[in-house]
Every structure is written in C-alpha cells, then in structure tokens.
Amino acid sequence: MTPKSNSAVLRVVTKQIIPMILLFGLYVQFHGEYGPGGGFQAGVIFAAGFVLYALVFGLDNASRAMPARALFKLAPLGVLLFAGVGVYSLLRGYAFLDYTAIDPHDPVHAQHLGILIIELGVGLTVFSVLLLIFYAFAGRRRADSLTHKDMG
C-alpha cells in the first residue's frame, strides 16, 4: 500500500470529493429515521471516504488521519452506546431497549431519541470496524504476494 498516486488530477479530485462523501455519510446517519439510511449505511459511506483517501494518499497518511488505535477504542464505544440504551431502559424498569424509558412522559419523543442514539452507536462501530478491516488487509506485509499459481 506504499505507492501513492502521482496523478495530480486524481489527488485534486479526491480532495474535493472526500468532504462530500463524509457529509453525505452524516446526512444518511441523521436522516435515517425519515428516509432510507441509518447507522450501518452511514458507517459504510464514512469508511469509504477514508478508504479512498488511503488508496490515493497511501496507508501511512490515512493512519495518521485516523489511527488504528483510535478505531480500536471507537468500535467498542459504539457497541456500548447501543447496549447502554438497552441497559438504561432495563435499569429504569422497562424492557431491554424499550426507548420509552428515555422520556416516559413523551413516548414518541423517546422513540425518536432512542433510535437516534442507537443508530449513532451502529454508525460508529460499523465505520471503525470496516476501516480496521481495510487497514488490516492493506497493511499486511506483502513480501511474497499470492502468486498466479495459487489462484489457479
């Protein structure tokens, strides 16, 4: 993954396009309760932005922008955010993941808030896990890459 692209066109276009990808990811994340989308799709789009960056500017630059160590913290945090909502409702005496517990006086608002929080958790985890998978495969030492014979 060390060879970086020297094409000026590619580099310029990529720099223009990545913010848009990330912005679209955020839109899909937070608009998920009204339209198509949600945490999983948003996480994938967000990760795709970073993958594009790594492909054009090299893995080293990408891991400076988003270190694997941070991703290792973000992934479990997302799961804990999701599960935390469930545990909170359990502790408040409601069923597991019953969003009503968040705001018992206004159940509709509570559903709204609940889905937003857990989708944020999903988005965080999907983003960081997908990017970690990419880092793991791309960063592997390729001293002797798969030969053609192996593939036959």
Partner 1 sequence: MNSLVLPALIPLLTAPLIVLIGGRHRAWLMAFISLGAALLSVVHLFSLGDSQNALGGWAAPVGITYVIDAANRPILLLIMLAGLLGLLCAPPERLAWLESPRPAIFYALYCLCVSGLAGIASTGDAFNVFVFLEISSLATYALVAAGPGRKALRAAFQYLVLGTLGGSFVLLGVGMLYMATGSLNMADIAALIPASPLPNAVLVGGAFVLLGFMLKSALFPLHQWLPGAYSRSPNAVAVLLAGSGTKVSLYALSRIMFGVFGVSWLVAHQVDKILLILACAAMLFGSLGAIQQTRLKALLAWSSIAQIGYIVLGISTLSEAGLRAAWVFMLFHAVIKGGLFVCASGLPSDRLENLPGLAQRDPLRAACMTLLALALLGVPLTAGFVSKWLMLQAAWDSGALLGVIVFAVSSLLAVAYVARIVLPIWQHSDNTQPIITPPTIRLAMLLTTAAALIFGVWPGPVIELCQRAAEALL
Partner 2 sequence: MDLGLINGYAAVALLMTGLYIVLAYDNPIKRLIGLSIFQAAIFVLYISMGRIAGGTAPILAEGIERYSHPLPHVLILTAIVVGVAMLALGLALIVRIHEEYGSIDEQHILELEREPDA
What are the residues binding partner 1 (CB under 8 A)? 72-73, 75-77, 79-80, 83, 86-87, 90, 93-100
| Residue that is written with structure tokens 């989708």 in the block | 119
Least separation in angstroms between residue 68's CB and partner 1 is: 10
Angle, helix 8-30 to helix 39-57, in steps of 10 degrees:
170
- For residue 109, the partner it binds in partner 1, partner 2, none, with Cβ less than 5 to 8 A by kind, is none
| Residue 149 found at the interface with partner 2 (CB under 8 A) | yes
Q: How many residues bind partner 2 (CB under 8 A)?
A: 13
Least separation in angstroms between residue 145's CB and partner 1 is: 18
Least separation in angstroms between residue 135's CB and partner 1 is: 13
Provide DSSP, 34-74: TSS--HHHHHHHHHHHHHHHHHHH-HHHHHHHS-HHHHHHH
In a 10 Å sphere around its CB, with 0-12 CB exposed, 13-18 middle and 19+ buried, how is residue 112 labelled?
A: middle
Least separation in angstroms between residue 90's CB and partner 2 is: 22
Rama region for 37: left / alpha / beta (φ>0; ψ in -120 to 50; rest): left
- For residue 146, the partner it binds in partner 1, partner 2, none, with Cβ less than 5 to 8 A by kind, is partner 2
